[in-house]
Amino acid sequence: MFAPVTKVVRVSFAVEPNYSGWRLDRYLQEKIPRLSREKIQYLVEHRLESADGRRLKAATRVVPGLAFSLLKNAEPEPDAPLDFGVVHDDGALLVVDKPAGLPVHPTARYSAHTFTSAARLRYPHRKVDPAHRLDRETSGLLACGTAPEWTRKLKRAFADGEVRKTYLALAHGEPREARFTVDAPLAITGASAVRVRMHVVEGGLPSVTEFEVLERRREAGGVPVALLACSPRTGRQHQIRAHLHHAGLPLVGD
Asked whether 136 and 101 are in contact (CB, 8 A), the reply is yes
Q: In this structure, are strands 140-145 and 196-200 parallel, antiparallel, or unpaired? A: unpaired
- Catalytic position from the list 25, 89, 135, 160: 135
| Closest to 84 (Cα-Cα) out of 52, 114, 126, 47 | 114
Quick one: CA torsion of 180, 182, 239, 143, rounded to 10 degrees?
50
Asked whether 39 and 25 are in contact (CB, 8 A), the reply is no
24-31 vs 37-46: helix crossing angle, rounded to 10: 120
Catalytic residue check, 135: yes
Positions marked catalytic: 135
